Amino acid sequence: MRAVVQRVSSASVSVDGSVVGAIDEPGLLVLVGVTHGDTPAEAGRLAAKLWGLRILHGEKSCSDVAAPLLVISQFTLYGDARKGRRPTWQAAAPGPVAEPLVDAVVAELRALGAHVETGVFGADMRVALVNDGPITLIVDV
């Protein structure tokens, strides 16, 4: 399981022109990718890592300051463009495998006390964000 994490001042995700998830205060935008063989235990570890990651101002975590997270599924995190000009998506888990695991990350974050907004799994989403500093991390669990 892999995530790209960005520290943001605000972020939103829209589907068909309607906002489906948004955070309007400093927090994290998290793109989550699932590969074959990922497990619910890894989803739990990723959620705990995201909740405790100390990348907010003053080396604080979301858990320290109750910062919100916007979590969006992103199969392209497992794209492979090493050969040719067209990436392959073979390493990305199919929807029936990936969706429950992305949902598990969100559920675990909420169980930890996080305010979590989400996109819509499998939808053509438009993501808007205002970065809060040049902080973007790749997290693998």
Q: Which residues are catalytic?
A: 74-76
Whether the Cβ atoms of residue 119 and residue 13 lie closer than 8 Å to each other: yes
Secondary structure of 82-121 in the HEC alphabet?
A: CCCCCCECCCECCHHHHHHHHHHHHHHHHHCCCCEEECCC
Cα distance between residue 120 and residue 109, in whole Å: 17
Alpha helices in 3-141 (DSSP H): 40-52, 62-65, 95-111
Cα distance between residue 141 and residue 50, in whole Å: 11
